[in-house]
Amino acid sequence: PWRELLKVYWRMEARGEIRGGRFVQSVSGEQFALPDAVGSLRKIRNKPDDDTDVVISACDPLNLQGVLLSGDKIPVLAVNKVLYRGGKVIAMLDKQGVHYLAEIDDADKRRVASQLFRG
């Protein structure tokens, strides 16, 4: 249970093996990270927004849609895909088709759909 893990994490934090704090915005509760991870997170925070599109499988552990991120959860099936842009979910693909979760123009919708189907 979390309460048991929390005791272990507090001891590890007291020994300087891990760091405790609030590292990821919009994720509630206590968070812990290895000391090296804190520096990496700071670099990402200070990096300008990247508009690169990234498509992942709904089965990927990085798929946080509906788990940590607000909104509908996409069924965890290998054929389902999620497209992120700048760390935000733009669209999802499931057996019903493409669902757009952000306001984008028609030309961008065609490009996003193409990326989701290519995966």
pLDDT digit string (tens) for 7-55? 999 999 999 999 998 877 666 778 898 988 878 877 777 777 667 888 8
* 91: its two tokens: 């669209």
Query: What pairing do the DSSP bridges indicate for beta strands 19-21 and 31-33?
Result: antiparallel
What's the half-sphere exposure (Cβ side, CA atoms, 13 Å) at 9? Answer: 14
Q: How confident is the model at residue 75 (pLDDT cuts 50, 70, 90)?
A: confident
Identify the sign of the CA torsion 62, 28, 51, 103.
Answer: positive
Q: For residues 81 and 56, what is the distance between their CA atoms, to the nearest angstrom?
A: 6
Please tell me whether the overall predicted TM-score, pTM, comes out greater than 0.95 for this model.
Answer: no
Calculate ∠ Cα 96-84-100, nearest 5°.
35
Instruction: Provide the pLDDT for residue 4.
Output: 92
